[in-house]
């Protein structure tokens, strides 16, 4: 359900190694500070991780399950009670998890429970072992921000929530970060690009206390905002421009969906409208080119053009959409109920197929021999359509007149020739070419030749017409899909009980009314019902999930760390009241995302330094309470784009078709047909932002992959943040890095100046600050040693110095 994090420890790496500690239940200081232990937040994660293997959905050793209150409180086969509410001594669970007897202790294998986890279970039992409904399945609560004793932390409601949780743990928040750090943080968070040195200096010297607030507003108006936050969304919806499998055919016009996302975010389109357009853009009251483009969401997944089992492949396509829709919009792993009832969450198999029934009118991407039939929507203007229609009418008229004359000649031909004209087109053309003139009068032949000339003229005119415009989306739907069935063990060849479109039962909703399609309907109208429900302010998950994602991309992790899984195997929220408050705020502000950015970034919590300060490091090493800002490594695209920006060659053009990065022959050879489907773009295009690189599933860009570009086959809630040798090799030995280092050296005029100036200008361009005396001295010595001791030319030595700066922690990490 939750993807395991990868932890790669490099043997050689020129930048600092960050220790990532996996969350394992509530931190001890949180439990100690709470007056009431919450089952869903504090207890259920412990039971799920340590007990479900033997006492979970699939196994009930000794007759004991911990999946629900009735089963957990029941008498076991041995006659004991694992949990006796209010009585720790009588609760056999506590005796077993604290036992030192290897035959009695639980769990029998694997990690033992920590002292803090044992105390949590004891306190919970003492307090009555209340078995709450999972927090995410309850409606959002209306929580007023607390009043804290530090007045400056009451101005922003976010700060009040954060300070209050810290105060309960006897911790203090970090001091504010310095201005140079803040502007870099803001630029990367909102645009994915570094500020210039001049912008940094101007901000640092600005005495206005509202300078940061003004900076945030300016960055939110930048066209690069939509590019940065659009990339986050593209990760969620598994964006790619090809179909995968061996042929990995192209998805024409997929880039227009990418541009739709960027523009929607730049325009601050309300999030509920953004969701509704993607799920039902062809069924809205007002259907536009933009809303049709949004339905490209359904066409982003993988597609097999020659499956061994076509029916299985068809339901795999549905599963891909259900997986993405459930996790990206609702934070629910509905897909886990495809073959059986969900093992952890209360999602029966009927809920999965009830969701599938909403989507049943979606046609496959294509079919063998006509791959684009179902996915390319003609959105040409009325004028262009009129021109094409007139041309088609002229061609049909001329063809009809030519056919009449041809038929007049054919009736005079011999029987074998007549039969030949009734066969394939090649035979017909041969007979007409050889025999038609002999069987027509002179006047008929002249008229025929004139018609042929007119036809060629009209045909030539068609080639000069303005091109038609297509977008990728739901071009063809099935307005009257057949009955949907629960599939026995997920097998499409074994249909069981029929189901109708229905919302997951955990929401306690009635079965929705599905309108009957009109006679001329092009879709079933069901997705509109689903979209309206998902974007309803009453939906208990949609606003929570999106508010959590915004928080995640500003703070490095969500209030719920498992941002695609708010279910019982997800990580509980560290600040549930704050999460619900943010969810309500998102709705109350008209679902506007830029308003949320302003609120978060103007908080003291966001502007804190990343310093590691005691006792907070010891008490809260995971920074669960947000006592500091978590530093992070730049994401893959940010690394590449920052190199281009430092060298002064970044092409900041927004929107438009994707480009092809320059790839080595060795990389291209990794395909079954080396280089197939990979084009050659001019350098000016290759200097564009990484967001615009053509995403070919079988040929991902190596530099981006080294820095954890996600697998586009699946929804990605959060990118891995690995530190591994491939990254060092890409930065120190890669062609792209060396190319940008050379361009950086050229841009600073390295060939015309001395070593000291090279060092100063390189650091100014790459790190947006002045070099220190020590950095100047060390850089001067390095360049000179490359020349004197290693025999390099001065040009090459300065290029390598530039390359070294592009490998510094300060370049690759964000404080």
User: Does 29 score more than 80 pLDDT?
Assistant: no
- At residue 103 the predicted structure's pLDDT band, cuts being 50, 70 and 90, is confident
Give the separation between CA 651 and CA 649, rounded to whole angstroms.
6
* Integer Cα distance of 496 and 514 in angstroms: 22
Residue 542: per-residue pLDDT? 98
User: What local confidence, expressed as pLDDT, does residue 224 receive?
Assistant: 98
Mean pLDDT, range 784-795, rounded to an integer: 96
DSSP string for residues in 373-435 = TTTEEE---HHHHHHHHHHHHHHHHHHHHHHHHHHHHHTTS-HHHHHHHTS-HHHHHHHHHHH
Check the CA dihedral 438-441-446-448 and report its sign.
negative
Residue 104 pLDDT: 81
Overall average pLDDT of the 68-85 stretch: 85
Which residues share a beta bridge with 633?
Answer: 813
Least confident segment among 80-84, 328-332, 520-524: 80-84
121 by DSSP, 3-state: which? helix
**Closest residue by Cα to residue 353 from 318, 387, 401:** 318
Closest to 581 measured CA to CA, from 561, 602, 599, 604: 599
Maximum CA pair distance of the chain? 114
Local structure of 802: helix, strand or coil:
helix
pLDDT of residue 77: 83
Kindly tell me if the per-residue pLDDT of 19 is higher than 60.
Answer: no
The more confidently predicted of residues 77 and 141 is 141
Mean pLDDT of 12-16: 32
Q: Tell which residue, 438, 426, 436, has the closest CA to residue 403.
A: 436
* 679 has a pLDDT exceeding 90: yes
With a pLDDT cut of 70, the percent of the chain lying above it is: 96
Please check whether residue 476 is in contact with residue 374, taking contact to mean a CB–CB distance below 8 angstroms.
Answer: yes
Closest CA to 284 of 452, 454, 531: 531
pLDDT in tens, 144-184: 999 999 999 999 999 999 999 999 999 999 999 999 999 99
What is the per-residue pLDDT across 302-323, written as a single tens digit (0 to 9) for each?
999 999 999 999 999 999 999 9
pLDDT-based confidence at 35, cuts 50/70/90?
Answer: low
For residue 18, what pLDDT is reported?
30
Tell me the pLDDT tens digit for each residue of 347-401: 999 999 999 999 999 999 998 777 788 999 999 999 999 999 999 999 999 999 9
Model pLDDT for residues 37-70, shown as the tens digit of each residue: 888 778 888 888 888 888 887 788 888 888 788 8
- Show me where the domains of the chain are located: 39-131, 270-374+478-534, 380-468, 734-814
- The residue among 93 and 737 whose pLDDT is bigger is 737
Nearest of 716, 723, 705, 690 to residue 323 by alpha carbon: 716
**pLDDT (average), residues 443-450:** 93
Q: Is the pLDDT of residue 451 over 90?
A: yes
Q: Helix count (H) and strand count (E) of the chain?
A: 35, 6
Q: According to DSSP H, which parts of 608-719 are helical?
A: 616-619, 636-646, 665-668, 683-686, 702-706
Backbone angles phi, psi at 485, to 5 degrees: -120, 150
Specify whether the CB–CB gap between 643 and 213 falls below 8 A: no
Q: Are 14 and 728 in contact (CB under 8 A)?
A: yes
CA-to-CA distance for 625 and 27, rounded, in angstroms? Answer: 10
Tens-place pLDDT, residues 260-283 = 999 999 999 999 999 999 999 999
Residue 199 pLDDT greater than 90, yes or no: yes
Residues 6+ apart with CB under 8 A from 731: 737, 803, 806, 807
pLDDT at 15 over 60: no
Confidence class for position 73, pLDDT limits 50, 70, 90: confident
Q: Is the pLDDT of residue 16 over 60?
A: no
- Would the pLDDT of 648 be above 50? yes
Cβ 551 vs Cβ 576: under 8 Å: no
Residue whose C-alpha is closest to residue 192's, from 262, 241, 256? 262
The pLDDT tens digits of the residues spanning 226-256 come to 999 999 999 999 999 999 998 999 999 999 9
Answer whether residue 610 shows pLDDT above 50: yes
pLDDT value at 803 more than 70: yes
Rg of the Cα atoms in the chain: 32
Handedness of CA 698, 378, 326, 561 (dihedral sign): positive
Q: What is the pLDDT of residue 503?
A: 97
* pLDDT at residue number 22: 33
Per-residue model confidence (pLDDT) at position 17: 28
Tell me the mean pLDDT in the region 116-124.
Answer: 91
The packing angle between helices 636-646 and 735-747, to 10°, is 30
Structure tokens at 506: 């955990």
Q: What does 240-263 look like in DSSP terms, one character per residue? A: -SB--TTT--B-TTHHHHHHHHHH
| CB of 641 closer than 8 Å to CB of 680 | no
Is the pTM here over 0.85, yes or no?
yes
DSSP state of 799: H
User: Rounded to the nearest 10 degrees, what angle do helices 349-358 and 310-330 cross at?
Assistant: 100
d(CA 779, CA 757): 10
Please say whether the beta carbons of 131 and 66 come within 8 A: no
Portion of the chain with pLDDT greater than 90, in percent: 79
Q: Are strands 484-487 and 495-499 parallel, antiparallel or unpaired?
A: antiparallel
pLDDT at 47: 86
Model confidence over 402-424: pLDDT tens digits?
999 999 999 999 999 899 888 88
Minimum mean pLDDT among 104-113, 166-175, 535-544: which range? 104-113
Is 763:646 a contact under the CB 8 Å cutoff? no
Mean pLDDT of the chain: 92
Distance CA 574, CA 313 (A): 40
Q: What is the mean pLDDT of residues 701-728?
A: 95
- Whether 14 shows a pLDDT value over 70: the answer reads no
CA distance 377 to 477: 12
Strand, coil or helix: what is 685?
Answer: helix
Phi, psi (5° rounding) for residue 81? Answer: -120, 125
Residue 667 pLDDT > 90, yes or no?
yes
CA distance 735 to 331: 40
Is the pLDDT reported for residue 5 higher than 70? Answer: no
CA dist 323 to 163, 298, 318, 419, 440, Å? 37, 12, 9, 57, 66
Residue 377, strand partner residues: 471
What is the CA 636 to chain-centroid distance, rounded? 14
Pairing of strands 484-487, 376-378: unpaired
């Amino acid at each position: 359900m939750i993807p395991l994090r990868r932890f790669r420890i490099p043997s050689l790496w020129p930048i600092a190694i960050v220790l990532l500690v996996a969350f394992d239940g509530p931190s001890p200081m949180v439990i100690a500070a709470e007056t009431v232990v919450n089952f869903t937040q504090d207890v259920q994660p412990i039971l799920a991780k340590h007990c479900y293997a033997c006492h979970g959905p699939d196994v009930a050793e000794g007759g004991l399950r911990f999946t629900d209150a009735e089963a957990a409180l029941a008498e076991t086969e041995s006659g004991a009670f694992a949990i006796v509410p209010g009585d720790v001594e009588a609760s056999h669970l506590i005796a077993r998890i604290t036992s030192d007897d290897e035959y009695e202790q639980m769990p029998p294998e694997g990690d033992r429970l920590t002292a803090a986890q044992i105390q949590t279970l004891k306190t919970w039992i003492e307090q009555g072992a209340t078995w709450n409904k999972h927090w995410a399945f309850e409606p959002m609560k209306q929580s007023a921000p607390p009043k804290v004793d530090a007045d400056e932390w009451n101005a922003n409601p976010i700060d009040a929530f954060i300070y209050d949780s810290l105060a309960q743990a006897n911790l203090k928040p970090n001091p504010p970060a310095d201005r140079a750090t803040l502007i870099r943080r803001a630029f990367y968070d909102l645009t994915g690009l570094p500020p210039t040195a001049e912008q940094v200096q101007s901000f640092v010297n600005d005495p206005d206390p509202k300078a940061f607030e003004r900076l945030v507003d300016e960055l939110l108006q930048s066209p690069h905002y939509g590019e940065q936050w659009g990339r986050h969304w593209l990760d969620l919806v598994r964006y790619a421009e090809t179909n995968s499998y061996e042929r990995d055919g192209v998805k024409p016009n997929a880039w227009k969906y990418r541009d739709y996302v960027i523009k929607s975010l730049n325009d601050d389109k309300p999030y509920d409208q953004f969701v509704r357009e993607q799920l039902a853009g062809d069924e809205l009251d007002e259907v536009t080119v933009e809303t049709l483009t949004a339905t490209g969401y359904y066409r982003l997944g993988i597609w097999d053009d020659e499956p061994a089992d076509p029916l299985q492949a068809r339901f795999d396509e549905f599963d891909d959409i259900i997986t993405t829709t459930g996790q990206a919009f609702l934070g629910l792993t509905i897909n886990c109920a495809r073959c059986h009832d969900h093992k952890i969450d209360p999602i029966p198999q009927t809920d999965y197929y009830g969701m599938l029934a909403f989507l049943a009118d979606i046609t496959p991407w294509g079919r063998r021999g006509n791959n684009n039939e179902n996915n390319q929507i003609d959105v040409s203007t009325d004028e262009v359509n009129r021109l094409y229609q007139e041309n088609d009418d002229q061609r049909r008229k001329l063809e009809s007149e030519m056919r009449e004359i041809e038929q007049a000649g054919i009736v005079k031909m011999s029987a074998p020739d007549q039969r030949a004209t009734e066969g394939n087109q090649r035979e017909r053309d041969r007979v007409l070419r050889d025999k038609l003139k002999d069987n027509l009068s002179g006047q008929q032949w002249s008229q025929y030749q004139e018609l042929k000339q007119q036809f060629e003229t009209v045909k030539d005119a068609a080639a000069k017409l303005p091109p038609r415009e297509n977008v990728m989306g739901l071009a063809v739907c099935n307005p009257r899909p057949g009955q949907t069935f629960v599939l026995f063990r997920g097998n499409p060849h074994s249909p069981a009980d029929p189901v109708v479109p229905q919302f997951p039962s955990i929401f306690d909703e009635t079965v929705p009314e599905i309108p009957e399609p009109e006679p001329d309907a092009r879709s079933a109208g069901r997705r509109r019902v689903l979209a309206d429900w998902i974007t309803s302010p009453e939906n208990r998950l949609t606003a929570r999930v999106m508010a959590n994602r915004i928080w995640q991309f500003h703070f490095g992790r969500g209030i719920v760390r498992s941002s695609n899984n708010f279910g019982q195997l997800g990580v509980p929220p560290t600040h549930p009241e704050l999460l619900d408050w943010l969810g309500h705020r998102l709705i109350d502000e008209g679902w506007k995302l830029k308003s949320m950015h302003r609120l978060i970034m103007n908080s003291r919590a966001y502007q804190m330094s990343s310093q590691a300060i005691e006792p907070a490091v010891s008490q809260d090493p995971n920074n669960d309470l947000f006592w500091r800002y978590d530093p992070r490594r730049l994401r893959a695209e940010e690394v590449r784009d920052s190199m281009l920006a430092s060298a002064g060659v970044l092409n900041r053009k927004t929107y438009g078709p994707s480009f092809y990065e320059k790839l080595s022959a060795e990389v291209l050879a990794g395909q079954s047909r080396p280089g197939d489907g990979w084009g050659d773009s001019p350098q000016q295009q290759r200097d564009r932002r990484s967001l615009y690189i053509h995403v070919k599933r079988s040929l991902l860009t190596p530099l981006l992959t080294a820095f954890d570009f996600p697998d586009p086959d699946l929804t990605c809630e959060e990118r891995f943040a690995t530190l591994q040798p491939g990254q060092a090799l890409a930065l120190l030995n890669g062609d792209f890095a060396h190319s940008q280092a050379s361009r950086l050296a050229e841009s600073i005029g390295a060939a015309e100046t001395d070593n000291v100036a090279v060092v100063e200008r390189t650091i100014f361009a790459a790190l947006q600050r002045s070099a220190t005396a020590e950095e100047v001295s060390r850089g001067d010595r390095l360049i000179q040693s490359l020349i004197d001791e290693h025999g390099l030319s001065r040009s090459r030595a300065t290029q390598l110095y530039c390359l070294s700066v592009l490998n510094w922690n300060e370049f690759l990490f964000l404080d």
